[in-house]
Chains A and B, each alone.
Chain A
């Protein structure tokens, strides 16, 4: 087969432009596929290893205060393998040179020893020394934000008392991979820190000597989590427990899981679409490529080459092209996967950055591409060899052009001869035109998805912060406090308005479904916090009953009018039955809203609040923050603006990376489709076009005939692409629904405009490349050789 192999290489070199364009499309599809799946695998494995190495606990419980002697009873609960009691305290922190309010969670660890459960991964410095009570370890992200190093000092205000602490080391913990302040929606590494202190020192500062308020458990193999939690709840109930919860409800783990779930969706949906589109294009392009070789296939057959030999020859051609794309795609995919994994691992504070690539991922990518390429090839070869060679040597469809609709309608005088040729050509080969249109449309859709995420997030922020949460500051109080406290806050100079609220941690239950959340008691006529429905209209809070986020109602399978069981996890833990009065649409978190007065009444407490929303004069905000900082009852303050900023930052890193890649790959696909379609059209029609040139048509007219058809296809593809993009986005938005956030289906005009521009620019570039090629068309050569 020596000569045929030579033919193969020459054909490849001759078609290098197209080969490259096909390979690019493939690289796009396969790279996304490999990147997403390998990143997901990497993160999952890394997380599990990390959890295992640091012995991340299975069950957690928070109490008010329990004596150390209770430990024995907890350890005796069936199913518990190991247990660890701790003192955990909220504190306000002061970092030298930083004026914003900073809140911290103080966690006790054994002096000079790494805890047995939730062990720390020490990054810098050393563990605490046993003989000092003013040392602390701090979490890595907080240290990095403030550029803190071992030996630096920070101040913590615990229970109203200031304590100077020296940083002994910088650590990471599986418990705080996603370090998010209690009640916050987004992490803010600069304004929230984790401090690990010696048990004795922290207990002394927090009045917890001989007692603990936090306990974590490692369960025995095969232990049933729910059973342990139930027993545990009974034991700790009289110590003011907030209810035990499993790892799946642990904050950091939940955020991480949610992120992984998102990534999994991305990995399952997105690359599959990409790979599918690439495979589809590969198929279309290869089919047409082989079709242009029909004549040569017929000659080979005429000389006695068997169908098998011919099929093998073209299969080899396609394998080379597919392999090029595959090799490139895998290489780029690994490179991007490493980058993306590193980005995630950095964000989630994994202590290591090993990258895992499953062989299956590569095999699958190879299989899909090969099947797509091969099926196109073999179908086209089959169609060509099925015909007797004499027939196959004629052009595929005998040129049975018809007059077009335009002409039948008698409108031809409105159009020039070249325009009529375009119309006839499109009408004659509607399927081919449709495939081109389909390819371009999918590229357009993919690019829209890239921007959709940004649009959706901006919209989420808008709704969350501009419409529903108007407060500048949210002040949380150490414990429920008389509503009179509102007056002292409102009295601070510069505070324009103050509104109280009462939040109660609770387990919400309907039939067998439960959700750990809280009951939010709001002022019904509040102007700073409003509960909105999906049309962004205010929902009135009824005197009786609770208003649920629609997604929460879905989770609990409860409808308005039905009764919700609220197991309060605070105080004397009443169990309440409240009717669901209505639903609200929100994109961030889920909540159960009530009137504050109703919450107070149900809790059999006075007129109390435990958080305050403030509207402040920006001029005075620094001083207000300082004053708040000095108030002993204030647990912490969240500034709205910084919340928005930190949210943006969080999202930007991961989403923009994805968006950028998506847009890039979408552009490549668009380019690949248009370029290949045009190129094949040229090789299919070179004789016709050369004849026209010989007959005296200008270059411009001939180019117009060829490119005009592509222009029409591109323009037809755009609206179809919008539809496809919209469908993709709505699918993704559906996939991304969780109790942490729901991505609204928002597509802004600029997203559509952007996708259109990418497609148009790609089309124009390939048009120009083709125009060049057309100008270099060797008229005589084309007309002389009869393939």
Chain B
């Protein structure tokens, strides 16, 4: 059974249900406990910010949510799908039709231009934006035919974001999307994410080191040492355009 793209618009309330999630990396004789029992729910349409010190397990959690990594224990459900026990085929379909991912390290294909990097994704999904539209959203319409090596770190990150939103995913998982950007460009990027979240109802999880950004979230989840230390709900969301740092 595969997950049909239509299922994405089917607004069941809980998009992700994470229970007692653990992740252990075996490094020779040493075990690194990256996640030590995480419980978390994400509801449809919400924008969640993940905060936490370096090495606390943020990327690990996001990778598992995105179907990029496997859990060591516990369960992760995406709507009614058990991701922790999904086979290769289902995970592929899940990533393809539902997830937009922005990596902490931009991970562009070096031999493809900005436009082609986006097209590599839009080609395989139904009803995507055009690559040009997506790149315009991150204000890169003038650099579309540049190769990654010809772009600055921030520009590469923006291409990575365009690539993630271009497929109109049902969830957007962004690992420090503004880490390499100045505040002006960072805000452009956050606006694009905000728009996807509000206009298309894309459930969004966003990792950042930057506490200032948490104002735009519905909820702010803090992670310490592989565990959730606190969850705060913002009563009002600050518009991305009004953020500054």
Q: Which A residues lie at the B interface, using CB under 8 A? A: 1-4, 6-7, 10-11, 14, 295-296, 299-307, 309, 388-391, 393, 398, 400, 778, 781, 784-787
Give Cα A447–Cα B95 distance, bound, in whole angstroms: 52
| Other contacts beyond A3-B123, A299-B107: 9, CB < 8 A | A302-B95, A302-B101, A304-B97, A305-B124, A389-B69, A390-B63, A398-B27, A785-B110, A786-B107
Contacts of A1 in B (CB 8 A): 123
Check B95–A785 contact: CB distance below 8 A.
Answer: no
Minimum CB distance partner of A12 in chain B: B111
Contact with A along B26-41 (1 / 0, CB 8 A): 0110000000000000
A-contacting residues, B89-131, CB 8 Å:
89, 92-97, 99, 101, 103, 105-112, 116, 119-121, 123-125
A-contacting residues, B125-151, CB 8 Å:
125, 148-149
Check A388–B70 contact: CB distance below 8 A.
Answer: yes
Partner of A304 from the list B96, B108, B110 (CB cut-off 8 Å) is: B96
Contact with A along B219-234 (1 / 0, CB 8 A): 0000000000000000
A304-B97, A390-B63, A778-B149 given; A299·B68 CB < 8 A: no
Minimum CB distance partner of A781 in chain B: B149
Minimum CB distance partner of A295 in chain B: B107
Check A304–B92 contact: CB distance below 8 A.
Answer: yes
Contacts of A300 in B (CB 8 A): 120
Contacts of B111 in A (CB 8 A): 7, 10-11, 14
Q: Is B88 an interface residue (CB 8 A)?
A: yes
Give Cα A11–Cα B147 distance, bound, in whole angstroms: 13
Contacts of B92 in A (CB 8 A): 301, 304-307
Q: Is B204 an interface residue (CB 8 A)?
A: no
Check B112–A388 contact: CB distance below 8 A.
Answer: no
Q: Is B156 an interface residue (CB 8 A)?
A: yes
Check A2–B93 contact: CB distance below 8 A.
Answer: no
A307-B88, A389-B68 given; A4·B107 CB < 8 A: no
Check A303–B119 contact: CB distance below 8 A.
Answer: no
Check B28–A400 contact: CB distance below 8 A.
Answer: yes
Contacts of B88 in A (CB 8 A): 307
Partner of A3 from the list B68, B108, B120 (CB cut-off 8 Å) is: B120
Q: How far is the CB of B97 from chain A (nearest CB, A)?
A: 7
Contact with A along B63-92 (1 / 0, CB 8 A): 100101110000000000000000011001
Chain A CB within 10 Å, residue with most, of B63, B96, B120: B120
Contacts of B68 in A (CB 8 A): 302, 388-390
Contacts of A388 in B (CB 8 A): 63, 68-70
Contacts of B179 in A (CB 8 A): none
Check B109–A296 contact: CB distance below 8 A.
Answer: yes
Q: How many of chain B's residues touch chain A, expressed as a range?
A: 35 or more
Give Cα A306–Cα B88 distance, bound, in whole angstroms: 9
Give Cα A476–Cα B89 distance, bound, in whole angstroms: 86
A6-B112, A7-B109 given; A306·B89 CB < 8 A: yes
Give Cα A398–Cα B32 distance, bound, in whole angstroms: 14
Q: List 24 A-B contacts (CB under 8 A).
A: A2-B119, A3-B120, A4-B120, A6-B112, A7-B111, A10-B112, A302-B101, A302-B103, A303-B95, A303-B101, A303-B121, A304-B92, A304-B93, A304-B94, A304-B99, A304-B125, A388-B68, A390-B63, A781-B149, A784-B153, A785-B110, A785-B156, A786-B106, A787-B107
Q: Which B residues lie at the A interface, using CB under 8 A? A: 27-28, 63, 66, 68-70, 88-89, 92-97, 99, 101, 103, 105-112, 116, 119-121, 123-125, 148-149, 153, 156, 163
Contacts of A390 in B (CB 8 A): 63, 68-69
Contacts of A6 in B (CB 8 A): 112, 116
Minimum CB distance partner of B164 in chain A: A303
Contacts of B93 in A (CB 8 A): 304
Q: How far is the CB of B151 from chain A (nearest CB, A)?
A: 9
Give Cα A623–Cα B27 distance, bound, in whole angstroms: 92
Contacts of B101 in A (CB 8 A): 302-303
Give Cα A100–Cα B110 distance, bound, in whole angstroms: 76
Check A785–B149 contact: CB distance below 8 A.
Answer: yes
Q: How far is the CB of B197 from chain A (nearest CB, A)?
A: 20
Contacts of A7 in B (CB 8 A): 109, 111-112, 116, 120
Q: How far is the CB of A320 from chain B (nearest CB, A)?
A: 15
Give Cα A207–Cα B69 distance, bound, in whole angstroms: 101
A304-B93, A400-B28 given; A2·B123 CB < 8 A: yes
Give Cα A664–Cα B125 distance, bound, in whole angstroms: 51
Give Cα A391–Cα B112 distance, bound, in whole angstroms: 23
Minimum CB distance partner of B69 in chain A: A390
Check B124–A786 contact: CB distance below 8 A.
Answer: no
Partner of A299 from the list B109, B119, B124, B149 (CB cut-off 8 Å) is: B109
10 residue pairs, one from A and one from B, having the closest CB atoms: A304-B96, A390-B69, A390-B63, A390-B68, A786-B105, A10-B111, A304-B95, A389-B68, A781-B149, A388-B69
Chain A CB within 10 Å, residue with most, of B66, B92, B105, B108: B92
Contacts of A389 in B (CB 8 A): 68-69
Chain A CB within 10 Å, residue with most, of B68, B119, B149: B68
Q: How far is the CB of B71 from chain A (nearest CB, A)?
A: 10
Minimum CB distance partner of A14 in chain B: B111
Chain A CB within 10 Å, residue with most, of B27, B95, B125: B95
Minimum CB distance partner of A389 in chain B: B68
Chain A CB within 10 Å, residue with most, of B27, B97, B108: B108
Give Cα A2–Cα B66 distance, bound, in whole angstroms: 26
Contacts of B120 in A (CB 8 A): 3-4, 7, 300, 303
Check A393–B107 contact: CB distance below 8 A.
Answer: yes
Check A301–B119 contact: CB distance below 8 A.
Answer: no
Contacts of B97 in A (CB 8 A): 304
Check B110–A787 contact: CB distance below 8 A.
Answer: yes
Minimum CB distance partner of B98 in chain A: A304
Give Cα A391–Cα B97 distance, bound, in whole angstroms: 21
Check B109–A303 contact: CB distance below 8 A.
Answer: no
Minimum CB distance partner of B148 in chain A: A785
Contacts of A10 in B (CB 8 A): 111-112
Give Cα A307–Cα B91 distance, bound, in whole angstroms: 11
Chain B CB within 10 Å, residue with most, of A299, A393, A398, A784: A299
